Amino acid sequence: MKKKIFYTLFFIIFVLQFEVLSQNKQNKYYKPIRFSIDGGAKIPLESTPEFNYNFGAGANLGIVYTLNQTASLEASFKSGFSILYNSSNNNSVNLIPITLGIDFYLYDKDFSPYFGIRPGINFVDNTMEPSVSGEIGISYKKMKLYGAYNYMQAGNMIEFGIGYFFRQRPCGCFPHTK
């Protein structure tokens, strides 16, 4: 699993180099880097002796880079902090996710549905768990609503939440000059 994640990340980084070269560099209003914060709930789907939790909550900070001229493809790096709870045992565990993601937006408009994939690493109670997360959502200007399925060997989770971007997603159009 670790080897597959390494090859996936290597491929993504290799492809990103070619996408960045086709960036819309002539538009002085085009700012491809923006920061985000998001938070939400995590619901573990299965219970094992190593991963016995009922629900969780947390927040992530991220940096997002728009890759192409139509502003439909974005790369992101996110990290955060979550707490998973077990209501029957009254115990909790810390979860620290670190992910590198690719999102594809369907429209270059204020409102746009999107989907993405995020390979990464989750640090669960001092153990490292490789993970892959698939995310779907909608964005409107600086806000987003999302749902995700997070696959880990220890246990899978469903996540849903809300996010805020500190800058609106750039449009792929050129401004008209006089």
Q: From CA 36, how far away is CA 163, in angstroms rounded?
A: 7
Contacts for 87 with CB less than 8 Å, ≥ 6 apart: 54, 55
Phi/psi of residue 71, nearest 5 degrees: 55, 35
Residue 145: predicted pLDDT: 96
Best CA proximity match to 149, nearest among 136, 162, 139, 138: 136
- Token pair recorded at residue 52: 């016995």
Inter-residue contact 24 to 38 (CB < 8 Å): no
CATH number, position 56:
2.40.160.20
Best CA proximity match to 68, nearest among 104, 100, 114, 35: 104
The answer to the question of residue 175 being in a domain is no
The answer to the question of residue 124 being in a domain is yes
Residue 38: predicted pLDDT: 94
Strand runs (DSSP E) across 125-176, as ranges?
127-140, 143-152, 157-165
Domain that holds residue 102: 2-25+32-165
The answer to the question of residue 86 being in a domain is yes
The answer to the question of residue 170 being in a domain is no
The answer to the question of residue 143 being in a domain is yes
pTM recorded for the entire structure: 0.75
The answer to the question of residue 138 being in a domain is yes
The answer to the question of residue 177 being in a domain is no
Query: What is the count of structural domains for the chain?
Result: 1
The answer to the question of residue 47 being in a domain is yes
**Distance of alpha carbon 49 from its chain centroid, rounded?**
28
Q: What is the pLDDT along the chain (178 residues), one digit of tens a residue?
A: 667 766 676 666 666 555 555 554 545 556 788 899 999 999 988 877 777 888 999 999 999 988 877 768 889 999 999 999 987 888 888 989 999 999 998 887 788 899 999 999 999 888 898 999 999 999 998 899 999 999 988 888 999 999 999 887 776 554 444 4
Q: From CA 92, how far away is CA 86, in angstroms rounded?
A: 6
